[in-house]
Amino acid sequence: MSYDMNDAQPQTNSDIIPDGTFAKITMTFRPGTIDGDSPIDAKLLKASNSPGSDVRQIDAEFTIVEGLYARRKFWQFFTVSGGKLDEQGVSIGWKISKSTFRAMIDSALGLNPEDMSDAAKARRVLNGLSELSGITFVGKVKIEPSDNPRYPDRNRLERVILPQEPEWQKVMNGEHVPAAPSSKPRAAPKPETPPAWGQGSGAAPAAAAKPAWGNTLAATAAPQTASTPAAPAAAPAAKPGPAWLAG
């Protein structure tokens, strides 16, 4: 038997995405082993690997949609329950995740985050967290330095870019937006001092080398403004799914 390699996909570039990159990003969820609270969130969550932790989280995969780093990927967990609690007994990790997910919806649909009209609020309601899988939004990517020299630095979502920010419209228009790094560059390692017996005459030794949402993304329309909220809309009798899946 022979194997024809001519139709294989080109090798992907594993280089890290530059810190501060603005891009259109699609988020999808990798399956877990634990059911979420909603019937449609069966086997959505994963348990934390930390011993004794009660954290339940979503394993998210991010893919750059277009531009210089199109098809490049990075991964991140979002806490859904467990971990440290606030004064009201609510998971602090979940509150952070929920805030990020809301921003993704606003970015994807071109909603002004200050728009609290009935119509806008209805578009932020989900039947389950799994409905967020496939959402495409504008985001800023950062580099998270590794605290273990055995592992390389990795990319993370720094934050979601909202419609009122100038970078949102530029990315939506397909323009290249210069990166705006947020992380401080690492200091270069100091050269090692040679031993005393190596400081005699002669040349110094050379230094040793030293590691679904996408189809309904708010096109290029100008974002909504909070000063002209939409007229209150009657609550729908039944909600078949999120607005970005309805076309």
Query: pLDDT for 4-52, tens place per residue?
Result: 888 886 665 568 999 999 999 999 999 999 999 999 999 999 999 999 9
- Structural domain contains residue 92: yes
Task: State the pLDDT at residue 211.
Answer: 45
Mean confidence (pLDDT) of the chain: 84
Residue 170: give the domain boundaries.
13-182
- Structural domain contains residue 212: no
- Structural domain contains residue 104: yes
Q: In the structure, what pLDDT confidence band is assigned to residue 190 with cuts at 50, 70 and 90?
A: low
pLDDT at 159 over 60: yes
* Number of structural domains in the chain: 1
- Tell me the three state secondary structure of residue 246: helix
Please give the helix or strand (H or E) that residue 120 lies within, else none: helix 118-123
- Structural domain contains residue 150: yes
- Structural domain contains residue 144: yes
Residue 109's identity, in one-letter code, is L
Q: In the structure, what pLDDT confidence band is assigned to residue 196 with cuts at 50, 70 and 90?
A: low
pLDDT at 3 over 50: yes
What is the DSSP code (8-state) at residue 45? B
Residue in the structure block whose two tokens are 């990003």 = 25
Token pair, residue 142, equals 């950062």
- Structural domain contains residue 73: yes
